Amino acid sequence: MIARELMIPGAFVFEPEAFPDHRGSFVSPLQASEFVKAVGHPPFVLGQVSHSVSRRGVVRGPHFTRTPPGVAKYVYSPWGKVLDVVVDIRLGSPTFGHWESVVLGSESHCAVYLPVGVAHMFVALTDDSVMNYLLSSEYVAGNELALSPFDPELRLPVPDDITPVLSERDQRAPTLAEAQNAGLLPHYETSMDIEAALCPW
C-alpha cells in the first residue's frame, strides 16, 4: 500500500495493491499498520459504517460535522468512479479555504482519510457509483452541515461535462463566508485536539 499526505494537513490518500485473477480481484482498502505509519496513530474506533449509491452527475457535499463533536472519516469507492474532494474549512489552518481532489473507484482502489474538521464532497462520474464511509461516530442529523458546491470563492472542481444533481439541502447550503459569519466553521486547534482524543492509546 502506498500512502501520501495531501496538501490539507492531516488528510491522506491510500493506494492499496489489487490482486486480480481468473475469479475476479481482491483488495484491502484499509491496513492498520500502513495507516499508523502514514498518519501517526491507529485508525479510530468505528462508530458507524455507511455507503451510498449515486448516478452520474450527483454531487454530495461539501458536508461537515459540527465541531465539537466532530467526526473523522475513511472513504473509498469499491464500484464506479467518483471525484472525491477534501476542503479545509478549519479556521486557523494553514490551508484554510483550500481543497484537493482524488479520483476514487474500482480502477484506482484508492481511499481517503479525512481528519476531524474538514469538509467532504464527491461528484459521481459514472452511474451506480458506490461510496463506503467508515466514521468515528454515529450520524446525528443536527450536527451535520453543508456548504455550497458552487461557492465562487472556493471554486470546487465540479466537472463542466455533467449536469449536477443535488439534494434540496445542498442546493440551499451557504457559502464558506456565510458559514463563517454564522459561526458554523470548526477551529483548527479544536479539531486537532478532538482528532488526538480519538486514539488515546
Q: How far is CA 75 from CA 5, 101, 155, in A?
A: 15, 13, 23
- What are 85's three cell numbers? 474532494
Q: Are strands 99-105 and 119-124 parallel, antiparallel or unpaired?
A: unpaired
User: ω before 68 within 30° of 0 (cis)?
Assistant: yes
Q: Which residue bears the cell 485536539?
A: 193
The C-alpha atoms of residue 149 and residue 121 are separated, in whole angstroms, by 8
Q: For residue 127, give the DSSP letter.
A: T
Residues belonging to the active site: 63, 133
- What are 71's three cell numbers? 467526526
The answer to whether the CB of 82 falls within 8 A of the CB of 123 is yes
- What are 30's three cell numbers? 484499509
The answer to whether the CB of 16 falls within 8 A of the CB of 109 is yes
Could you tell me how many residues make up the chain?
Answer: 201
- What are 7's three cell numbers? 496538501
